[in-house]
Amino acid sequence: MSSRVEQSADGLFRQFLPNLHTERFSSMQKQNAHEYVRAFKESQNPPWIHSLYLHWRKLFSEPYRGISNDVLSKGKPRGNLYELRDEGVPIGDIVSAADEALKAMSSEMRDATMFHIDSPEWRSWSNPEFLLSDKGIRLDEVSDTIRKRVLSVLRATLSPRGYDKALKAMEINHFLGELVQSPCVLNRFSYNFVIFGEPSQYQPWGYSFYGHHLCLNIFLIRSQIVISPWFTGAEPNLIDAGMNSGTQILQREEQLGLCLMQSLQAPQQKKAQIFKLMKDPSMPEGRWNHDDQRHLCGAYRDNRVVPYEGILVSEFNTPQQELVIAILEEYLIYLPQGSRERYMEKIKAWFHETYWCWIGGFGDEDPFYYRIQSPVILIEFDHHSGVFLTNKEPAKFHIHTLLPSIGNSIPNKLDDHHDSHALVERNSAPPRKKDWVEPTPQSPWGNDRNVNSRVPDPKNIFRLVDYTRPHLYASCGSLLPQPGSVKSSTASTSRESGFELVPVSQKTPPAPPGTEQLFVSRVHDANNASDLQFITDHSGNHILLIPQPSLTDPNDPLRWSRIKKWAALANGVGYAFMGSVTGPIMAAGMIPLTETFGVSLQKMTYANGATLICQGVGNIFWMPLAVKIGRRPVYMASNLLMGVACVWLGLASTASYVPLLVGRAFLGLFEAPIESIVPSTITDLFFLHDRGEKVSSYGLSVLGGNELGPLFSALIIQHLGMNWAFFIVAMFIGLNAVTMFFFMPETKYTGVRPSTAFVCEQPKQHEVMIENVSSSKHNRPNEVESASQSPPKKSFIRELALWERPDPSVSLLSTFLRPFILLTYPTVLWSCLTYGMALGWNVVIGASTAQLFAPPPYLFDSQAQGLVFLSPFIGSLIGSWLCGSLSDTVANYFTKRNDGVREPEMRLPICAFAAVLTFFGALIAGLCYHYKTHWAGPVIGFGVLTTGAQMGVSLSMSYALDCHQELSVELMVTVASVKSLIAWIWTWVINDWIISDGMLVVFMSIATVNVVVNATTFVMYFYGKRIRSWIHEKDLFTKLNL
């Protein structure tokens, strides 16, 4: 699909804002919902809406029969299509929520809310703003408690994404009320709630939630649910101002439909396009009317005969049928996952009798209508002209979508069988024991009215983005047949299927960075996950491999053996550990060094500060090399130079202060990559779903080095002197360099991998590479790759090469500048501050331990001072576990509840524990030291606060890497550099501050700053996705040509 951006985001609807001084709006602004509808009925204005109201009353008086597709059958619905089944719906939770809502109501409210299960009022929902059927309770007229409990019923019933969509529709309705200054008629709570039957886990019941542009009718029987008819619309469909700016709905339904239509070959498009104009002169009477315009099955249209039109879905190729499935799944998003999956299986079984039809143009800017129809489902999508806005032609910012009741798809009668469980499913709850008669049609479209035409208004420009069906990459983009657009050894397969990908004219990132489809349920595996590589968890869910490994290249690090991966990780973690040891290595020798060199303790601490600030600066220069020439040469060079610096420091520690200070500065420059390259290696080697524990192991190596370093160096200093502490560390660094040379090949991969983003990306040099990936189980050969044969596996000797060919696509200047731009990303800035404040505790403890424990009453010698760090090390172990497997477990739990879609924010709830442990650990240590308790008091406090610090380190890294995996190297440069700056500040003030104000004040002040920083996690948890969408929209790297 050629470049398509979200038109509503440009605010084009604002050129159609109405004149609010007209009588319609000036009156509306003064009225509540009841006064507004009363005035409407009395004045009969607007006349076309009043005519609609009278027509609806007539339709409501007709007996219910159900929508059907055959005029000759006189509307008699097809039977035996549905059955009772266990769908796993949490009926107990739904009933409990409904009971709580009823308990909060007065007796008068309950009487108004409760209707008989067979009440004809099931059919009296409507979507205009007029309160034409005032039944139940209206949420903007009840207490906040009742509102919250009613919404809890919705939350318990709908899928997470479905509930989110409903709330967004309500917020957009509120936004419309603000635009026309009529909040008493249009607001986020201008919706009615009605219950039919008695909420029960065993007997049928249901409820209706309806109002302007959102109407949901929900029928429940035991663990089975049907949500129909429903209507969702928006005018406009995007909020472009205020606190909810960026909220948007119905763009996916639009994008997927247009993508499907554009993917058809010309003869198929001609067959599907039943009318070329949105109001076509060739339309029969009743096919278009002023109120419903093109859609056929809105409010009160329960008995309509809707003949099949268009083209059979069974005539589509596989990618096109996958698009049909994607559209249908979007329309079924209100259903809980289990019900949605079972319904999809039934729908796909009827593809031989499923029709796709289209009205309007199918250019990127054309408004349009489409319908998918079969015996078991009917969905409609329509772009409308303005009702509140003044556009006289259909525009893409006013959308109606609906899914009506088909035939007998909800139990339409409760038969008196001997088995009390023998219930027949029906599609609405009309009155019992009536014979339904279809109104006599004058045309195949019934007796609807025909009014003046509306001509399309091509204003919208959209681009297709899909978060949940990544394997549809091959069916996205400008899919019109054009020769030579796919560079592939199997391009003929593409041509035979009826389409090829062609280049698009704009580059648009695929989705808010970090959102990934991670889980696919067992019900979907045969049809949806079979084209993706996955593993199966203990519950039988398919965990998609993110990123997808190469299908043909055995040298892809994601395809390495477990042993090879862990060997590389162990070398990287060992490298980070040894680099971290060198930071606080002087902690137990600070007092002897001040005496040797004749300087103050604060000045001696400047040597540690020199290492920290040079680490931050060095990262900026090392990491562009890691991106350009690979990780391995950076590891090797940094490791060897770090060993040389330690030898230098060993010699300088017995000489004078200045050589030691200079040596510490160079040490910081040489070891700078320890805090940025290892997380990048983890993203090179491991998949998203189990990355958390690996990041935690790295975080443990950094904090563990900071804590065990002083412990081991204290023993060495006590017996051999400060110089030997550096010499022995240099020996271990050399050993790590040897193991790294033999067992850590290059992990940067530049080959082709299957895409996991459903996106039309701008191809390089006007060509597109496509990879359709096959399942590790089903092994279906659908891929199209740039190479006709798999590359040979590298030999062990070949992998010992110190560097590979530099990546020609990487600009050193751009890579150098990106970390600075990343500071403008709120997600990265949050990670920097959280990471920096957490690791800052190691600097604070390392710089102050000798100052705190050498004087009375503790009188610790160097060895005892080193042993103090055992407590922080144990705390780091505990924190590492909490943020390793537990973090992954929590995130996976929320992912499964989110229909398998992983959001980076799903890890963040654990950050609350980090804040609590850090604060109370500092409080314990500070109080115990202040009141000179036994040494165990402050030492245990150190352990508690480092548990929280370790959690902060791991969570901040994991979150940042999840959000911006593609920028892992540049990201960690930014995080590590900001951390180094924060830590460097502590080295300049910490010792004198403790002397001035005391340890309790200092520790609690730092802990308070930590808590404030951690408290911002709430912002990231609730608004993180919106922030990531904002980052995606701004796309600073593209704007700055980086």
Q: Are strands 214-221 and 224-234 parallel, antiparallel or unpaired?
A: antiparallel
Q: 906 with 691: CB under 8 angstroms?
A: no
The domain in which residue 69 lies consists of: 7-418
**pLDDT for residue 660 is more than 80:** yes
For residue 438, the model assigns a pLDDT of: 31
Provide the token pair at 631: 């990780």
* Residue 987 identity (one-letter amino acid): T
For residue 517, the model assigns a pLDDT of: 66
**pLDDT for residue 502 is more than 80:** no
How many percent of the chain have pLDDT more than 70? 82
For residue 700, the model assigns a pLDDT of: 76
Grade residue 755 by pLDDT with cuts at 50, 70 and 90: low
CA angle 715, 721, 722 (to 5 degrees): 90
CA angle 206, 229, 434 (to 5 degrees): 75
Considering the domain boundaries, does residue 483 fall inside one? no
- Quote the CA–CA distance of 716 and 166 in Å, as a whole number: 65
Top-confidence residue, 286 or 232: 232
Considering the domain boundaries, does residue 505 fall inside one? no
For residue 480, the model assigns a pLDDT of: 28
Of 12, 46, 463, 423, which is closest to residue 202 (Cα–Cα)?
423
Least confident of 72-86, 312-326, 368-382: 72-86
Grade residue 604 by pLDDT with cuts at 50, 70 and 90: confident
Element (H, E) at 837: helix 826-853
- Quote the CA–CA distance of 363 and 73 in Å, as a whole number: 37
Considering the domain boundaries, does residue 946 fall inside one? yes
Considering the domain boundaries, does residue 429 fall inside one? no
Kindly state the average pLDDT of the residues 197-201: 93
Of 131, 1037, 134, which is closest to residue 508 (Cα–Cα)?
1037
How far, CA to CA in Å, does 415 sit from each of 14, 121, 205, 423, 426? 54, 21, 15, 6, 12
Kindly report, residue by residue over 213-223, the tens digit of the pLDDT.
999 999 999 89
Grade residue 756 by pLDDT with cuts at 50, 70 and 90: low
Q: 494 with 486: CB under 8 angstroms?
A: yes
CATH number, residue 874: 1.20.1250.20
For residue 884, the model assigns a pLDDT of: 66
Query: What proportions of the chain, in percent to the nearest 5, are helix, strand and coil?
Result: 50, 10, 40
Of 776, 771, 790, which is closest to residue 494 (Cα–Cα)?
771
- DSSP states of 91-106: HHHHHHHHHHHHHTS-
Of 865, 868, 1009, which is closest to residue 949 (Cα–Cα)?
1009
One domain, residues 852 and 999: yes
Of 398, 405, 455, which is closest to residue 425 (Cα–Cα)?
405
**pLDDT for residue 723 is more than 70:** yes
Domain end among 389, 418, 447: 418
Kindly report, residue by residue over 151-195, the tens digit of the pLDDT.
999 999 999 999 999 999 999 999 999 999 999 999 999 999 999
- When the pLDDT of each residue in the chain is averaged and rounded to a whole number, the result is 79
* Alpha helical stretches, state H, 583-676: 590-597, 601-628, 631-652, 657-671
Exposed, middle or buried: residue 828 (CB in 10 Å: 0-12, 13-18, 19+)?
buried
**pLDDT for residue 508 is more than 50:** no
Q: 182 with 25: CB under 8 angstroms?
A: yes
- Quote the CA–CA distance of 434 and 17 in Å, as a whole number: 47
Spell 147-156 as b/e; 16+ CB within 10 A means b.
bebbbbbbbb
For residue 464, the model assigns a pLDDT of: 29
Non-local CB neighbours of 824 within 8 Å, separated by 6+ positions: 1036
One domain, residues 414 and 562: no
Of 219, 200, 107, 100, which is closest to residue 150 (Cα–Cα)?
100
Grade residue 771 by pLDDT with cuts at 50, 70 and 90: very low
Of 399, 366, 470, which is closest to residue 249 (Cα–Cα)?
399
Of 67, 42, 198, 191, which is closest to residue 123 (Cα–Cα)?
67
Exposed, middle or buried: residue 1007 (CB in 10 Å: 0-12, 13-18, 19+)?
buried
One domain, residues 252 and 399: yes
pTM of the model: 0.47
Q: Roughly how many angstroms between the first and final C-alpha of the chain, as a whole number?
A: 25
- Quote the CA–CA distance of 361 and 278 in Å, as a whole number: 8
Of 539, 534, 531, 507, which is closest to residue 518 (Cα–Cα)?
534
Considering the domain boundaries, does residue 538 fall inside one? no
Kindly report, residue by residue over 1013-1037, the tens digit of the pLDDT.
989 999 998 888 889 888 887 878 8
Top-confidence residue, 382 or 290: 382
Considering the domain boundaries, does residue 470 fall inside one? no
Exposed, middle or buried: residue 824 (CB in 10 Å: 0-12, 13-18, 19+)?
exposed
Backbone angles phi, psi at 583, to 5 degrees: -65, -60
CA–centroid distance for 714 within its chain? 47
Top-confidence residue, 31 or 967: 31
**pLDDT for residue 863 is more than 60:** yes
Non-local CB neighbours of 1001 within 8 Å, separated by 6+ positions: 926
Backbone angles phi, psi at 486, to 5 degrees: -115, 120
Provide the token pair at 1004: 């609690």
Grade residue 331 by pLDDT with cuts at 50, 70 and 90: very high
CB atoms within 10 A of CB 1012: 12
For residue 547, say if its preceding peptide bond is cis, omega within 30 degrees of 0. Answer: yes
For residue 4, the model assigns a pLDDT of: 36
- Quote the CA–CA distance of 195 and 236 in Å, as a whole number: 30
SS3 state of residue 138 = strand
**pLDDT for residue 437 is more than 60:** no
Kindly report, residue by residue over 880-903, the tens digit of the pLDDT.
777 766 777 788 788 877 777 888
DSSP 189: T
Q: 834 with 949: CB under 8 angstroms?
A: no
**pLDDT for residue 626 is more than 50:** yes
Kindly state the average pLDDT of the residues 925-953: 91
Top-confidence range, 69-78, 265-274, 480-489, 961-970? 265-274
Kindly state the average pLDDT of the residues 934-960: 89
Domain end among 391, 418, 445: 418
* Residue 593 identity (one-letter amino acid): L
SS3 state of residue 535 = strand
- DSSP states of 662-678: HHHHHHHHHHGGGGTHH
Domain end among 392, 418, 444: 418
Q: 658 with 649: CB under 8 angstroms?
A: no
Top-confidence range, 236-245, 353-362, 420-429? 353-362
Kindly report, residue by residue over 370-404, the tens digit of the pLDDT.
999 999 999 999 999 999 999 999 999 999 999 99
Kindly report, residue by residue over 774-790, the tens digit of the pLDDT.
333 333 333 333 333 56
Rounded (10°) angle between helices 936-963 and 677-685: 60
Provide the token pair at 127: 């979507």
- DSSP states of 862-924: HHHHHHTTHHHHHHHHHHHHHTTHHHHHHHHHHHHHTTTEE-GGGGGGGHHHHHHHHHHHHHH
For residue 504, the model assigns a pLDDT of: 31
Non-local CB neighbours of 743 within 8 Å, separated by 6+ positions: 567, 568, 571
Kindly state the average pLDDT of the residues 472-498: 30
Region for residue 563 given its phi and psi (left: phi exceeds 0; alpha: psi -120 to 50; beta: otherwise): alpha
For residue 779, the model assigns a pLDDT of: 36
For residue 11, the model assigns a pLDDT of: 64
For residue 9, the model assigns a pLDDT of: 40
Kindly state the average pLDDT of the residues 650-656: 89
Domains held by the chain: number: 2
Top-confidence residue, 216 or 964: 216
Region for residue 477 given its phi and psi (left: phi exceeds 0; alpha: psi -120 to 50; beta: otherwise): left
* Residue 288 identity (one-letter amino acid): W
Q: Are strands 516-517 and 901-902 parallel, antiparallel or unpaired?
A: antiparallel
Considering the domain boundaries, does residue 536 fall inside one? no
Considering the domain boundaries, does residue 686 fall inside one? yes
For residue 242, the model assigns a pLDDT of: 85
